[in-house]
């Protein structure tokens, strides 16, 4: 528990008091970092701890005694928010793009759909998987799966856009894709890890 006079001096801007308060609440920062470190594997723990310490300083700067709050009630959400913010930022903006649309060089392509798979055996394998999972290449489920994942010359679309394209709900699209995956896993056990 921090002494009230030290906290008052810290709020007024006394650097020695601010240092004491930060040292007092550093274990809180480590506890919160332990809780959220899994969200941002690219960031080192030190980066998250640093953000948490900055959160303590911001809490000191914005704390108002007249509201009647305990300082712990004020500092905890500030520290948690600072750590979560950095951790979530890594999830929203991954270092390496997850798809062609997110990469920088995708803008240099005129139309990504015009580039067909050059390996004929791979193209035939994809066609075979679609037929096994959907019955035929022209069935509604096949069109949904191909539109969702960009197979057989279709442009890959997000689930919501596939739903709009076929006049369905997202849940119905998800159901078609789940059924396709289940059938492929049952009939082609060598692909069970992929689906």
Banded model confidence at residue 37, pLDDT cuts 50, 70, 90: confident
Q: Which of 5, 63, 2 is nearest to 28 (CA)?
A: 2
In-domain check, residue 99: no
Which residues fall within 8 angstroms of residue 85, CB to CB, at 6 or more apart?
51
Alpha-carbon distance of 33 to 115, in angstroms, equals 45
Structure token pair of residue 124: 């035939």
Q: Are 113 and 154 in contact (CB under 8 A)?
A: yes
Note the pTM of the prediction, 2 decimals. 0.46
How large a percentage of the chain has pLDDT more than 70? 78
Domain that holds residue 11: 4-92
Residues 85, 10 share a domain: yes
pLDDT at position 116 is: 47
In-domain check, residue 138: yes
Banded model confidence at residue 47, pLDDT cuts 50, 70, 90: confident
Number of domains in the chain: 2
* Residue 119 clears pLDDT 70, i.e. is over it: no
In-domain check, residue 123: yes
pLDDT at position 27 is: 92
The DSSP H or E segment spanning 79 is helix 71-92
């Amino acid at each position: 528990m921090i002494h009230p006079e030290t906290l008052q001096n810290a709020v007024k801007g006394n650097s020695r008091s601010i240092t004491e308060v930060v040292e007092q609440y550093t274990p809180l920062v480590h506890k919160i970092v332990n809780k959220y470190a899994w969200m941002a594997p690219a960031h080192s723990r030190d980066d998250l701890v640093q953000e948490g310490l900055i959160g303590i300083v911001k809490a000191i700067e914005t704390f108002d005694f007249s509201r009647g709050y305990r300082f712990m009630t004020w500092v905890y959400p500030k520290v948690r928010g600072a750590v979560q913010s950095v951790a979530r930022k890594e999830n929203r903006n991954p270092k390496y793009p997850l798809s062609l649309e997110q990469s920088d060089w995708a803008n240099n392509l005129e139309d990504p759909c015009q580039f067909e798979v050059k390996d004929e055996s791979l193209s035939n394998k994809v066609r075979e998987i679609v037929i096994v999972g959907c019955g035929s290449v022209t069935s509604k489920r096949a069109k949904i799966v191909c539109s969702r994942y960009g197979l057989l010359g279709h442009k890959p679309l997000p689930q919501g856009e596939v739903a709009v394209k076929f006049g369905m709900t997202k849940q119905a699209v998800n159901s078609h894709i789940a059924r396709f995956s289940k059938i492929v896993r049952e009939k082609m056990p060598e692909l069970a890890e992929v689906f």
